[in-house]
Chains A and B, each alone.
Chain A
């Protein structure tokens, strides 16, 4: 009886946003008289960071400091329509809507500043620290705050913007399946290292190594949070979870977290990830969306690693000790496969 180490890998891509499109998002942005901006949305923050990613996108596009932007979501009386937080669509769809709204607000901001500085708005740039100045002439400058005050109390201008982003809806051909499913795709490759106990059938995940191509990591900390959390979910899908352990027999469903098995802190494996950035032509600053895809490659990579360790294919999830043991018995004992680096 022994513990066998194994390695498996998987590579995937993932479509960003609702399949076929037709899923609009809207954003409204306005400034208060001190040049502080509010982004009004009805997008949902599930913990994935919707508020923060839209805040950064708004600040970048407006050209103002991040502290001068807050995101207000989600109230159906004040936030304009959004399809929702699902289908990895938040960053891509809402990010673009926020860019559109911020572009419009920035246009008014620069017009108001141009009137105060008596120059052409096209000659103005922002420094990202709350100032607007003439390109190449930093001394001819006005603060965003003074500009907003002038717009509000002197010029009678609203520094505000509207934005919508819509990938137009596609049809589907009944006989060929031809369609325009999506405009942006993210990519990943993931390696799982496992250890399989041929006496108990237990699979231990030792480590995960991956590469994700996400267009652009708009906030690398939040990307890391998504990818790590998603890998835990993938580990759980691969090795632990199901409410119907004898599917399609629906009996023996769990009623609480004592009966529904998921990995605990001691089961979590070290994870090392590299992010690649190939900007999506229509993504906000090239961004795609790591939200859903990051669980997906873990499932097959773990299954392939189990095969590499003991020569057993488990084609039905989750890969329980019972299935592994039955597989080992069926082939007359563990059959470790060729090692692959490491």
Chain B
């Protein structure tokens, strides 16, 4: 089923290793296959209480009043939590790295922004008692207009979903309603393309569907601390989020986790820990808060929908000369992590291809649905679907085989990427070649001869072109969305220094570096295989020109080591957006 092609890139590897590279059985496997591995919910506590939340039945509504008097008197009910009980009842997950404004309450105060938003929490002796008391909570709502479509939400006059971002979009750099990518001049290139294809793609929301639903158990300890059994995907991320919401020092929380029954991104949001700990603080007893399957399905935070428009200009010989992407992340009612995904998506444009003119406008829009969150391939999965279906359409339009079309346009070592960094360590061409061979999908000898190691970075492939920039989409000014370009940045312009290289710490200072550590760097210099330079594959050119070594113009590529940055840098300086 799986084989390893050791013959490819063999001269870049040192395969003389003892343990790494062997399919050794996992230390936790016996526990998993016999059902004995302990998960967060496998911890018994004396006097355990159970927490359940009352959720909004409306997509968008003002809360006129909340009456919990009947629920408080219900059998087994120990404590009811309201918005006022939460010490810091507004948070955004990425505030831990200073990115974005606090926009989401743990319990809704005066408005609900999506169907299923928690309003009141009930803590009782049993789950059944908590669920019974849930029905006794009386909440008087005034329904408000709602918006579900990302493009409708961005129109002037749409209902305001999230008061922290009153224009229904996440604000980038304190300046724009979206994240931009600009490389070359896509508009001009579209005019000179033989064929222009513009298409719309839609990724639907997806549920993570873990076997183990989200949950946690928090218990007071005897030393003024709380132990928390958690299924968090980021232990300290969740600990930090809980400490902030509860306004306590982080060392009063002792998080235990590490074995999780399915995550896929759905256990990053700390959905249950803050309220479980708050319950333990206010009752003095252990509190368990676990989503049931229906809550997990409907309100457990899905992969967000994305709407993506891809516009490509392609020449009849198959070369893509321009690509523009406009896409909308559906964040739901609150930001959670969508703001991060849009920047990751921007870095991914235009996919693993070299395209001389590329640009994108990526929006994060708020709608009155359950906030979406990270999921496997966050920021990439949907745009890869759009790009690769688009690639199939382009290949069809120029009458080329889709494999050959990929190889022709594939990025190679030393090519300049649109985020203005040089591609290294590429291997797309080799993957296409191996997949074609394996699937017995015929490709031409010319396509088989291509290599990621050769031909990249030559001529304009290694350069940053003159680039049109603009001030479109200024915050609060929808009329600027169609403004013209304002300036042309000269070829070779870079504005962001290379961050310093990652460093392996641990063998410095007083202790001697360990000798004879197995090497993991490429061991030998690469031999240059005899491969042709990239040339149009179809129609076959009888005399493909030999590769011409071209000296990079000054300033074309960022110089390693130029202006290294030192010390801690916060995301606030990345995006200029401070929380609170």
Contacts and interface: CB of A to CB of B under 8 A. Distances in A.
A149 interface: no
A217 interface: yes
Given A85-B233, A180-B421, A218-B21, A175 B1 contact: no
Q: How large is the interface on B (under 10, 10 to 19, 20 to 34, 35 or more residues)?
A: 35 or more
A151 interface: no
Contacts of A190: 435
B408 to A, nearest CB: 12
A19 B507 contact: no
A342 B441 contact: yes
Contacts of A342: 439-441
Given A100-B504, A107-B511, A341 B263 contact: no
A37 interface: no
Interface stretch (B137-145, B311-319, B423-431): B423-431
A307 B391 CA distance: 13
B11 to A, nearest CB: 11
Interface string A107-126: 11111000000000110111
Contacts of A106: 514, 517
A81 B433 CA distance: 41
B378 A46 contact: no
B542 interface: no
Contacts of A138: none
Interface string B223-251: 00000000011111101000000000000
A304 B179 CA distance: 29
Contacts of A20: 343, 574
Given A19-B347, A46-B263, A342-B441, A163 B506 contact: yes
Contact of A300 (B4, B204, B237, B392): B392
Contacts of B234: 44, 82-86
Contacts of A248: 148-150, 305, 330, 367
Given A107-B514, A248-B367, A313-B389, A187 B428 contact: yes
A307 B392 contact: yes
A273 B21 contact: no
B352 A12 contact: yes
A271 B439 CA distance: 11
Given A44-B258, A107-B507, A303-B385, A292 B520 contact: no
Nearest to B522: A279
A310 interface: no
A10 B504 contact: no
Interface string B180-221: 111100000000000000011111111101000000000000
Interface string A9-41: 111111100011110000000000000000000
B65 interface: no
A150 interface: no
Interface stretch (A139-147, A196-204, A280-288, A324-332): A280-288
B514 A52 contact: no
Contacts of A210: 435, 438
B20 A57 contact: yes
Nearest to B173: A174
Interface string B550-563: 00000000000000
A84 B237 contact: yes
A249 B388 contact: no
Contacts of A286: 13, 520, 522
A218 B182 CA distance: 37
Contacts of A244: 204-205, 305, 369
Contacts of A211: 5, 430-435, 438
B205 A174 contact: no
B388 A297 contact: yes
A51 B28 contact: yes
B17 A171 contact: no
A169 B503 contact: no
Given A42-B236, A60-B20, A271-B1, A281 B521 contact: yes
A185 B348 CA distance: 11
Nearest to A80: B236
A312 B186 CA distance: 29
A86 B303 CA distance: 14
Contacts of A51: 26-28
A6 to B, nearest CB: 11
A292 B378 contact: yes
B268 interface: yes
A74 to B, nearest CB: 3
A248 B332 CA distance: 11
B467 interface: yes
B444 interface: no
A84 B233 contact: yes
Nearest to A167: B502
B66 interface: no
A44 B260 contact: yes
Interface stretch (B49-57, B161-169, B277-285, B291-299): B291-299
B181 A66 contact: no
Contacts of B505: 100, 162-165
B513 A12 contact: no
Contacts of B23: 219-222, 224
Contact of B200 (A60, A63, A166, A315): A315
B479 interface: no
A341 B440 contact: yes
B270 to A, nearest CB: 11
Contact of A213 (B6, B200, B387, B427): B427
B385 A107 contact: no
B441 A292 contact: no
A175 B571 contact: no
B257 interface: yes
A242 interface: yes
Given A45-B259, A250-B369, A291-B376, 13 more contacts: A9-B435, A20-B574, A47-B260, A75-B255, A84-B237, A104-B514, A177-B180, A179-B347, A181-B419, A182-B347, A219-B24, A255-B294, A315-B201
21 contacts: A22-B571, A45-B260, A47-B260, A56-B22, A74-B258, A83-B237, A110-B515, A122-B516, A170-B496, A176-B493, A178-B495, A187-B430, A211-B434, A218-B20, A233-B264, A243-B205, A247-B305, A260-B207, A272-B1, A276-B430, A313-B389
Among all A-B residue pairs, the 8 with the closest Cβ atoms: A84-B234, A300-B388, A74-B258, A221-B23, A100-B506, A177-B181, A181-B347, A107-B514
